[in-house]
Chain A
């Protein structure tokens, strides 16, 4: 059974701070990792993808991957109230797999 674990939160950070979201996965052959943001009542929106060990930066977002530890994280710098949402970690196993396994999500609240 492939599992993706996230802390459900809520995670509260003050505006301007760094929010750190974490995710662990059980399937060692996982090769593709994604972070989605989901606002209440809306569908998930892809914000980051990462495939190799290390860091990947895109604007205020940095994804970090450590395959040896089966760990992926998302850092949000200069957090804004508009970042308040649920963040979903998703993992695809095997080359060319379209089947994503999702964590239950971490609810982030950015306090003005």
Chain B
């Protein structure tokens, strides 16, 4: 089974621009979560989508948004980029395992650099 794929793998943007990142989950997985990883803050939850609906949102400003399509693929968008948005953006897909617990599998990530 193919893993989680993310595109692009690397991006360099300028302050004030916007960016869109894409994620394709593992086949059959319907939940997609997004995380931001920085050296200072570690891994932080952005939001989670299931069946095209955002179910959970982390503590990030409204500049960070996302959506999910009917085929479970997801995109996240960051508008008005700031230097502090430079990070590794990780997508994780999940499926229901026994005991109603959810294991999340990460994609390779998109490394975003804002200059």
Q: How many residues of A contact B (CB 8 A)?
A: 25
Residue contact A49 to B103, C-beta cutoff 8 Å: yes
Complex CA distance for A34 and B35, rounded to whole angstroms: 16
Q: Which of A44, A99, A101 is packed against the most chain B CB atoms within 10 Å?
A: A99
Residues of chain A within 8 A (CB-CB) of B103 are 34, 46, 49
Among the listed stretches B40-48, B68-76, B78-86, which one makes contact with chain A, having 4 or more residues with CB under 8 Å of it? B40-48
Q: A-facing mask of B33-59, CB < 8 A → 1, else 0? A: 101000000111100101000011010
Given contacts A44-B43, A49-B101, A92-B102, contact A99 B48 (CB under 8 A): yes
Q: Apart from A99-B58, A104-B42, what are 9 other A-B pairs with CB-CB below 8 Å? A: A49-B101, A49-B103, A51-B99, A90-B43, A98-B56, A98-B102, A100-B43, A102-B35, A102-B44
- The interface of chain B, by Cβ under 8 A from chain A, is 31, 33, 35, 42-45, 48, 50, 55-56, 58, 88, 90, 94, 97, 99-109
